[in-house]
Structure 1
Amino acid sequence: MKLKHTTVFAALLAGAGLAFAADAPVIGLITKTDTNPYFVTMKKGAEAQAAKLGAKLLTAAGRIDGDNAGQVTAIENMVAAGAKTILITPSDAKAIVPSIQKAQAQGVMFIALDSPTDPVSAANALFATNNYTAGELIGQYAKAAMAGKPVKIAMLDLFPGNPVGAQRHNGFMKGFGMAAADAKSNELSTNPAIVCSADSYGDQAKGQTGMENCLQKDPGINLVYTINEPAAAGAYQALKAAGKEKGVLIVSIDGGCKGVENVKAGVIAATSQQYPLKMAAMGVEAGVTYAKTGKKVQGYTDTGVTLITDKPLAGVSSRDTKYGSDMCWGNK
């Protein structure tokens, strides 16, 4: 059976034209988009592991981040095509839950990758970076780098209510030594040192606009937290245009190849690297195990995070950009 195509959702059967054993485990992978290098890498990891283990992989990707309707359609199509495990990066952590529960009632196991469902327990398991820890690492680095100097911080966040965005934001604050909500909160904590916040949606252009607006609000900003490396690149462009790029520290999260290059070039001081290929490979392996044994994976599995910088600081564990480049994802 072929998966349907809709105007808002691209879905296809991976491995078209290849022969699979009649009893090959069928596993689905639904990512937020098929253009973001992070999710492209995730798909490659799933494809490689599926080929290695003899599984049949179905893949789908939304047109834009936030395409919940498309993810609902993909779940329905994959269940109809025989998938017994579906790996998903939820675009809307709450809205997708009823569709997950409906499929689970038919015996389908769900593993959330990278981003949790809301509640987290709606999926059988979560394989992801500890985003709170990722934020803490760059917060600790920023605090050490600022060496006690007064700070004026700009926060280039994701968008309101997103659990990953909140975890990274609040983790950064905790790492910097500020009071902040814990990893279970979806609310963004505040502090007087944060003089400006903007929603970047993880986009370079929006990150640049957000930074421009923050500089208008307070030209004295000397530390910038960014939700990811595209937002960091946008922030740098705004700072460069204002002639302030040499006096402002930028920290970020992701560990993509372009981001690591920007660390090496001095655009970003440090970034927390995560590992999407590992998440996907582990998810496929768990799906094959479920198909063969009926054993479902449960709970949260931390897939690791590493601080990448070429300017290591005492008391903050890190690796250099050579390591970061060896382990990065996306186009080099």
Structure 2
Amino acid sequence: MKHDIPAAHRRTGAIVAIAVLSLVAPGCGKDSGTGGEIIVGLITKTDTNPFFVKMKEGAQKEAQARGVKLMTAAGRFVGDNPSQVTAVENMIAAGVRGILITPSDTRAIVPSLEKARAKGIQVIALDTPPDPQSAVDALFATNNLNAGILIGKYAKASFGTRPVKIAMLDSVQGSTVGTLRHNGFLQGFGIKQGDPSIACRQNTLSDAAGGRIAMEECLRKAPAINLAYTVNEPTALGAYTALKAAGKEKNVMIVSVDGGCTGVKAVQSGQIAATSQQYPLKMASQGVDAVVDFAKGGKKATGYTDTGVNLITNKAQPGVDSKDVPFGLANCWG
């Protein structure tokens, strides 16, 4: 869906953004094609989720190291496509050489990405591919299907032949990342969609409030739940809050994806049994490097770069590759 932004608003947004970016990462990088200063754009789903905070940190650090400017923007919430459309327009107007983006609405953002590419801007997706993925030049991301498979295998190995009642706490409707993690978990656990062991499925906003509300609803529908798949760690911790309030926190295993420092500490304390750790700082720094290399040499990054995933747990299971909590803490979102 195309969102038309009045020209006056675009100009104002661009001016504000440029004023901010001069404080973000001043540098002296020059664009060999134009002789001007290289500007790299970063657009995340939100600026509050710790995952995207770390991503922004990685981009800022690499932009400063490469001597270029970083222009940043974010949606107000997961799924906020209009804000991302406005951000793309502002970055085009500001003359960025590349845009790094984690799309909130993977289909609705495509016309904006195509517009940027038509103007010679390199567009790279971080973490979340658009739909279709060909709408960007390159993708730097975790293999989210594998992240889901890892926690699915771990949960299956932990339960063995014991009966299981699963709560599936997913992302927003239509999230490609959420779908990949969800399907990966089912594959790793060895079941298919619609299996009777899935007692409840709820969408969330991938945050703690959404996780709590979703788990409360699942407990009402199926009080015997003993395993919770959660799309990310904020959702997992929200779910844990609901379980604890119901006096069931010791009866339900939670598995998740992210591997942030807070999440790994939750594994350490036993709130989360296992999590698949990904590396957003690496995604962002590699993305900045790719844009700078394009601006200076003209070669665009292409295809998919897997930035890695590791299962983090305190209780390793036979046949499931994993790393321990000290490794997780040493590498959380690095």
Residue 237 of structure 2 is matched in structure 1 by 233
Matched, 1:13 2:26: no
Residue 187 of structure 2 is matched in structure 1 by 174
Residue 212 of structure 2 is matched in structure 1 by 208
Using the TM superposition, name which of 15-24 and 229-238 deviates more.
15-24
The one-letter code of the counterpart of 2:190 is: G
- CA–CA separation in structure 1 for the residues paired with 2:114 and 2:226: 46
Q: How many residues align?
A: 318
CA drift at 1:157: 0.8
1:291 equivalent among 279, 291, 295: 295
Residue 305 of structure 2 is matched in structure 1 by 301
Residue 281 of structure 2 is matched in structure 1 by 277
Cα contact 1:11–1:61 (8 A) shared by 2: no
- CA–CA separation in structure 1 for the residues paired with 2:19 and 2:259: 27
Using the TM superposition, name which of 300-309 and 63-72 deviates more.
63-72
- CA–CA separation in structure 2 for the residues paired with 1:61 and 1:20: 25
Cα contact 1:25–1:84 (8 A) shared by 2: yes
Q: TM-score, normalised by structure 1?
A: 0.91
Once the two structures are superposed, the pairs formed by residues 44-83 of structure 1 within 5 Å of their partners are 44-83=57-96
The one-letter code of the counterpart of 2:228 is: V
Residue 98 of structure 1 is matched in structure 2 by 111
CA drift at 1:4: 3.6
The one-letter code of the counterpart of 1:13 is: L
Which ranges of structure 2 fall in alignment gaps of 5 or more residues?
1-9, 31-35
The RMSD of aligned alpha carbons is: 2.0
The one-letter code of the counterpart of 1:239 is: L
Matched, 1:324 2:328: yes
- CA–CA separation in structure 2 for the residues paired with 1:218 and 1:56: 52
Using the TM superposition, name which of 61-70 and 313-322 deviates more.
61-70
- CA–CA separation in structure 2 for the residues paired with 1:209 and 1:10: 39
- CA–CA separation in structure 2 for the residues paired with 1:42 and 1:3: 27
Q: Percent identity?
A: 58
Q: TM-score, normalised by structure 2?
A: 0.90
* 1:177-234 Cα shifts (integer Å, max 9, x gaps): 113xxxxxxxxx3321101111122121221121111112111111110111111112
- CA–CA separation in structure 1 for the residues paired with 2:157 and 2:180: 21
Residue 249 of structure 1 is matched in structure 2 by 253
- CA–CA separation in structure 2 for the residues paired with 1:216 and 1:240: 14
From the superposition, tell whether residues 322 and 329 of structure 1 become closer, same or farther in structure 2 (CA, over 3 Å).
same
From the superposition, tell whether residues 49 and 145 of structure 1 become closer, same or farther in structure 2 (CA, over 3 Å).
same
CA drift at 1:5: 4.0
- CA–CA separation in structure 2 for the residues paired with 1:5 and 1:118: 27
Deviation above 6 Å: which 4+ runs of structure 1?
Answer: none
- CA–CA separation in structure 1 for the residues paired with 2:20 and 2:181: 33
Cα contact 1:50–1:57 (8 A) shared by 2: yes
CA drift at 1:16: 5.5
The one-letter code of the counterpart of 1:94 is: R
Which ranges of structure 1 fall in alignment gaps of 5 or more residues?
180-188
The one-letter code of the counterpart of 2:135 is: A
1:131 equivalent among 144, 152, 167: 144
The one-letter code of the counterpart of 1:53 is: R
CA drift at 1:82: 1.5
Structure number having the greater helix percentage? 2
- CA–CA separation in structure 2 for the residues paired with 1:288 and 1:319: 34
The one-letter code of the counterpart of 2:28 is: F
Using the TM superposition, name which of 197-206 and 221-230 deviates more.
197-206
- CA–CA separation in structure 1 for the residues paired with 2:11 and 2:325: 41
Match of 1:166, SS state, is helix
From the superposition, tell whether residues 16 and 321 of structure 1 become closer, same or farther in structure 2 (CA, over 3 Å).
closer
- CA–CA separation in structure 1 for the residues paired with 2:131 and 2:19: 24
